[in-house]
């Protein structure tokens, strides 16, 4: 930790940022008080669901609520925001060529069989529009809804 002579002005700047966030309706001054500023370094890391550790000039550590940390001036504060999970590729249900991969897909895909045309994988919305007289679809939770 840095000496109080450095920490005090930074804490004032941080509290001003909290006040700005409160007046911009990001934080309600009465309901959603930023408890993260009360945490030490270890506690801040333990509350990654709502708190972010921030560093001022690489010397002083603070803990802020994520939405407040996002509004801090980057000139003074560097915050360790968590890296977002990698984006899932946008996969079309019809790219699944067999029943197992279709049923196991995370995209709400449905395998539909037909005697008239080859069986295929459809989105749930597409499968609901298929004629029941021609297609037998395996909707999740139901063995052959159509």
> Do residues 48 and 72 share a domain?
yes
Strand pairing partners for 123? 109
User: What are 91-100's pLDDT values in tens digits?
Assistant: 689 899 999 9
> Do residues 67 and 123 share a domain?
no
- pLDDT the model gives residue 113: 93
User: What are 10-64's pLDDT values in tens digits?
Assistant: 666 666 665 555 444 444 444 556 788 888 888 888 888 888 898 887 677 889 9
Cα separation, 81 vs 104, in Å, equals: 32
Q: Which helix (H) or strand (E) holds 127?
A: helix 124-129
- pLDDT the model gives residue 145: 41
Residues 65, 15: contact at Cβ < 8 Å? no
Q: 5-14, 48-57, 109-118: lowest mean pLDDT where? A: 5-14
> Do residues 65 and 102 share a domain?
no
Report the predicted TM-score, pTM, of the whole model to 2 decimal places.
0.41
Q: Which helix (H) or strand (E) holds 62?
A: strand 60-65
Collapse the DSSP code of 123 into the 3-class scheme (helix H, G, I; strand E, B; otherwise coil) and give the result. strand
> Do residues 8 and 73 share a domain?
yes
pLDDT band at 101 (very low <50, low <70, confident <90, very high): very high
> Do residues 71 and 99 share a domain?
no
> Do residues 112 and 48 share a domain?
no
Cα separation, 18 vs 16, in Å, equals: 5
Residues 66, 81: contact at Cβ < 8 Å? yes
The parent domain of residue 21 ranges over: 4-79
């Amino acid at each position: 930790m840095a000496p109080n002579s450095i920490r005090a002005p930074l804490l004032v700047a941080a509290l001003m940022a909290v006040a700005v966030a409160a007046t911009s309706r990001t934080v309600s001054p009465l309901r959603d008080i930023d408890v993260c500023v009360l945490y030490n370094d270890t506690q801040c890391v333990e509350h990654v669901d709502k708190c972010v550790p921030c560093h001022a000039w690489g010397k002083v550590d603070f803990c802020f609520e994520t939405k407040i940390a996002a509004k801090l001036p980057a000139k003074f504060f560097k915050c360790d925001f968590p890296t977002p999970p990698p984006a899932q590729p946008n996969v079309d249900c019809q790219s699944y060529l067999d029943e197992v991969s279709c049923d196991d897909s995370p995209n709400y895909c449905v395998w539909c069989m037909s005697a008239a045309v080859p069986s295929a994988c459809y989105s749930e919305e597409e499968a609901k529009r298929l004629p029941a007289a021609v297609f037998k679809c395996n909707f999740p939770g139901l063995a052959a809804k159509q």
